[in-house]
Amino acid sequence: MANPTARFETSLGEFTAELYLDKMPITAGNFLSLARSGFYDGLHFHRVIDKFMIQFGCPHSRDPQSPRAGTGGPPHGTIQDEFPEQYRLSNEPMTLSMANTGRPNSGGSQFFINTKHNDYLDFFTPGTSRHPVFGRIIAGQDVVQRIGSTPTSRPGDRPITPVQVRKITVTEG
């Protein structure tokens, strides 16, 4: 059976991600549950760093000017880290990766889309940053690049013109 997909309808266009439910059931399952519930609908990308990544999923980003944008998580709290040795999925361009605070088991609703190869964020490389990949963009990569090159404010890397995810629609595999 194929993995589920999620279509993101944004203020800059649409893109679609395959979610690796087969390899990352905790992390992908968490995203899918939140997306199906409508949690992500109406939120904004709160952190954009050109030639690095775009970050999304903070409930406080419903107001794109909120000083709390980037600090929140899902109503159910954090999830268990998922680092399966048999699936060494790298933070390659156009992959979805779980954001966290740097502490164990601190991921929740926030994730980022890599716009370049950020292999130093892989859970299986030396270092303290450990971000599991749980999906990849399969359509609309140009939209992701457009979001990734949006002008931002300093400090904070917040888009000057807010980029909203109007709706995420999940299609079962």
- The residues near 143 (Cβ < 8 Å, ≥ 6 apart) are 10, 12, 13, 14, 15
Can 55 be counted among the known catalytic residues?
Answer: yes
Can 131 be counted among the known catalytic residues?
Answer: yes
Q: How many domains does the chain have?
A: 1
Of 7, 36, 52, 62, which is the active-site residue?
52
pTM of the complete model beyond 0.75 = yes
Q: Print the domain residue range for 95.
A: 5-171
Can 47 be counted among the known catalytic residues?
Answer: yes
Can 110 be counted among the known catalytic residues?
Answer: no
Q: pLDDT 10s digit of each residue in the chain, 173 long?
A: 799 999 999 999 999 999 999 999 999 999 999 999 999 999 999 999 999 999 999 999 999 999 999 999 999 999 999 999 999 999 999 999 999 999 999 999 999 999 999 999 999 999 888 999 999 999 999 999 999 999 999 888 999 999 999 999 999 98
Of 15, 34, 45, 47, which is the active-site residue?
47
Of 3, 30, 91, 100, which is the active-site residue?
100
pLDDT single digits (tens) 65-109: 999 999 999 999 999 999 999 999 999 999 999 999 999 999 999
Which CATH number goes with the domain that contains 151? 2.40.100.10
What SS3 string covers the chain?
Answer: CCCCEEEEEECCEEEEEEECCCCCHHHHHHHHHHHHHCCCCCCECCEEECCCEEEECCHHHHCCCCCCCCCCCCCCCCECCCCCCCCCCCCCCCEEEECCCCCCCCECCCEEEECCCCHHHCCCCCCCCCCCEEEEEEECHHHHHHHHCCCECCCCCCECCCCEEEEEEEECC
Of 12, 32, 89, 121, which is the active-site residue?
121
The three-point CA angle 50-114-79 to 5° equals 125
Residue 9 burial (10 A CB sphere; 0-12, 13-18, 19+)? middle
Of 112, 134, 158, 164, which is the active-site residue?
112
Measured in whole angstroms, how far is the alpha carbon of residue 56 from the centre of its chain? 5
Can 76 be counted among the known catalytic residues?
Answer: no
Of 44, 131, 136, 158, which is the active-site residue?
131
